[in-house]
Amino acid sequence: MGHGKRQIEILARGVCIVKGHVLLCHTRGAANTYLPGGHVEFREPARKALEREMAEEMGRRAKAGRFLGCVEHVFRQKGEWHAEINLVFDLRIPGLTPATPPSSCEKWISFCWAPLAKLRSARLEPAVLIEQLPRWLKEPAGFGGTAEGWKSKT
């Protein structure tokens, strides 16, 4: 979705923290990580989209909680520009522990844990979350973005 169509993708992402570690998602073969979640479907509430995505990707029941913040993200992948809006929510997934990464139901992604204090070394994208996430956990409903990238990188 969104490839070559010049549209903005809307994603619901979750912040699941257990014992000071954050659950991250990783596309196999890529160096970066991102918060788990996925696309919000038309007429689907963002929290429900996040819960649905976790059921699809991890095979687990999840509960999306308070809204933490929003990140606009513009990036280039395989020569194509992409634009997305990430709606970030607190996420609870019972039974998870940082000692064991949860298994993935999707062949192209895997899950991992990273200490909240070391998101930079986990290569978290959008990178603005490295600074924003700890702030949002203390004081939710922030906003961050990379949409300014359109002006300088057209």
Looking at residue 116, the DSSP 8-state letter turns out to be G
Domains contained in the chain, CATH given: 8-143 (3.90.79.10)
Residues in the chain with pLDDT values less than 50: 1-3, 149-150, 152-154
Other beta carbons less than 10 A from residue 55's beta carbon? 13
pLDDT tens figures, 38-59? 999 999 999 999 999 999 999 9
Beta strands in 16-108 (DSSP E): 17-18, 21-27, 37-39, 63-77, 80-92
Q: What is residue 152's predicted lDDT score, i.e. its pLDDT? A: 46
Question: Residue 143: what pLDDT?
Answer: 56
Q: Taking a C-beta distance cutoff of 8 angstroms, is the pair 87, 11 a contact?
A: yes
